[in-house]
Amino acid sequence: MDFGLSEEQQLIQDMVKDFAASEVAPIAAEIDRDHRFPAELLPQMAKLNLMGVPFPEEFGGAGADNVSYVIVLEELARACASTSVIVSAHTSLCTWPIFAFGTQEQKEKYVTGLASGEMLGAFALTEPGAGTDAAAGKATAVLDGDEYILNGSKIFITNGGFADVYIVTAMTDQSAGTRGISAFIVDKDAPGFTVGEREHKMGIKASSTTPLYFSDCRIPKSALLGQEGKGFKIAMQTLDGGRIGVAAQALGIAQGALDAAVAYAKERVQFGKPIATLQAIQWMIADMATEIEAARLLVYRAAWNKDNGLPYTKEAAMAKLFAAEVSTRVAGKAIQIHGGYGFTESYSVERAYRDAKITELYEGTSEVQRLVIAGATLR
């Protein structure tokens, strides 16, 4: 057993830390306040190979492993959770399923464009009536000659309006339950496809979250991803990987909140000495650091399983469940340590607290993770 990072993982961590500190952290508060999608970061991240970390170089990726990928998401989230989710939705939820299930032509066209950062990706499963019950989607896809006609709508789509490519699930056989759902690769300019208004969210405000509308939207037959009827399984397998990414995001938010709390506790003087000397503060710091370390072990282990061809459905769910709940707790304690100042927008812990909450909700609520874990444990 080896708990150390490889030389390559260490190099990637150093590189992304530098990038996050110099380019992301300085704008994080501003883009959150203004709900501004940080489009200027995308070419910079593409240049550093951060838009396709776990894909082979021949497809435009960095050729690194999934442990490196979670390190990237963690370090980005430590500075800015919005930036982290832009990268994780793009990588885990759009590029990965095309890489895993696409034809050679689809991979050459899309994985290469996405992993190199020339294109941005998104994933559209959720519908107004199909959130946790992902199989209840009503969007349809009907084959008409050599085209599919898509009808229906999707909601809460990360990178909506900024993505060039969307993975979209729709029913191709309404009588077959989850086996009647198929997945498609939809280009942003497909006729009949429109993007709705951005949501006004509690956190991750710089990331774009929109509905999508399909009205007799025609896409070529070749846009089918995998086989007809395999879309639900593709979505579930995609989410297994996506959940490791969200867990890494939660971990980074928590680490960023701890960093801020430690710095503040050392400089804030009350009763004539820094509050870091007070046991009440030290106990909170100790609990935060311990929980973060436990979360990190789960997150890295889930990514390591994926790298080593081992099952990771349960491990991803455990990592996401634990890291997300740790993130919210740690961010809450970071505010507690800051006292009233932590409740103001002048300190980053306020943003961390709002950003942490989403990690308990998207890519499966904590209750869904418990369902998955219980199912695997009781089987």
Q: Which residues are catalytic?
A: 363
Shortest CB 342 distance to ligand CAA, Å = 27
Site residues (CB under 6 A) for ligand CAA, limited to 222-281 = 232-233, 236-237, 239-240
Choose which of 91, 116, 126, 328 interacts with ligand CAA (CB under 6 A).
Answer: 126
Q: Does 66 bind ligand CAA (CB under 6 A)?
A: no
Choose which of 64, 77, 79, 89 interacts with ligand CAA (CB under 6 A).
Answer: 89
Question: Pairing mode, if any, of strands 121-124 and 224-225?
Answer: unpaired
Nearer to ligand CAA, 41 or 149 (CB): 41
Spell out a b/e string for 34-61, using b for 16 or more CB atoms within 10 Å of the CB, else e.
Answer: eeebbeebbeebbebbbbbbbbeeebbb
> How far apart (Å, rounded) are the C-alpha atoms in residues 201 and 198?
9
Nearer to ligand CAA, 179 or 329 (CB): 179
> How far apart (Å, rounded) are the C-alpha atoms in residues 10 and 214?
44
Q: Which two tokens stand for residue 57?
A: 């170089």
Shortest CB 252 distance to ligand CAA, Å = 15
Nearer to ligand CAA, 5 or 135 (CB): 135
Interface segment toward ligand CAA; rule CB under 6 A; list 32-40, 48-56, 99-107, 131-139: 131-139
Q: Does 74 bind ligand CAA (CB under 6 A)?
A: no
Residue 336 burial (C-beta neighbours within 10 Å; 0-12, 13-18, 19+): middle
For ligand CAA, what does the binding mask look like between residues 173 and 212, x meaning CB under 6 A? Answer: -----xx---------------------------------
> How far apart (Å, rounded) are the C-alpha atoms in residues 295 and 94?
25
Q: Does 49 bind ligand CAA (CB under 6 A)?
A: no
- Asked if 122 and 93 count as a contact pair (C-beta separation under 8 A), the reply is yes
Q: Beta-carbon neighbour count of residue 273 at 10 Å?
A: 10
Q: Which two tokens stand for residue 171?
A: 């029913």
In Å, what is the CA distance from 45 to each residue of 98, 252, 288? 21, 18, 30
Q: Beta-carbon neighbour count of residue 197 at 10 Å?
A: 9
Q: Which two tokens stand for residue 127?
A: 């519908």
Beta strands in 188-324 (DSSP E): 193-195, 209-220, 224-225, 269-270, 273-274
Shortest CB 266 distance to ligand CAA, Å = 35
Shortest CB 44 distance to ligand CAA, Å = 22
Q: What is the DSSP letter of 93?
A: I
> How far apart (Å, rounded) are the C-alpha atoms in residues 157 and 234?
17
> How far apart (Å, rounded) are the C-alpha atoms in residues 356 and 329?
9
Shortest CB 366 distance to ligand CAA, Å = 11
Choose which of 50, 134, 276, 323 interacts with ligand CAA (CB under 6 A).
Answer: 134
Nearer to ligand CAA, 134 or 260 (CB): 134
Q: Which two tokens stand for residue 225?
A: 């991803």
Nearer to ligand CAA, 356 or 368 (CB): 368
Choose which of 49, 158, 182, 249 interacts with ligand CAA (CB under 6 A).
Answer: 158
User: Number of helices (H) and strands (E), helices first, in the chain?
Assistant: 13, 10
Nearer to ligand CAA, 157 or 168 (CB): 157
Q: What is the DSSP letter of 266?
A: H
Choose which of 79, 125, 163, 190 interacts with ligand CAA (CB under 6 A).
Answer: 125
For ligand CAA, what does the binding mask look like between residues 303 and 342, x meaning CB under 6 A? Answer: ----------x-----------------------------
Q: What is the DSSP letter of 162?
A: T
Q: Which two tokens stand for residue 44?
A: 């910079």
Q: Which of 82, 87, 88 is nearest to 44 (CA)?
A: 87
Site residues (CB under 6 A) for ligand CAA, limited to 337-376 = 362-364, 368, 371-372
Q: Does 100 bind ligand CAA (CB under 6 A)?
A: no
Chain residues binding ligand CAA by CB under 6 A are: 89, 93, 123, 125-126, 132-135, 157-158, 178-179, 232-233, 236-237, 239-240, 313, 362-364, 368, 371-372
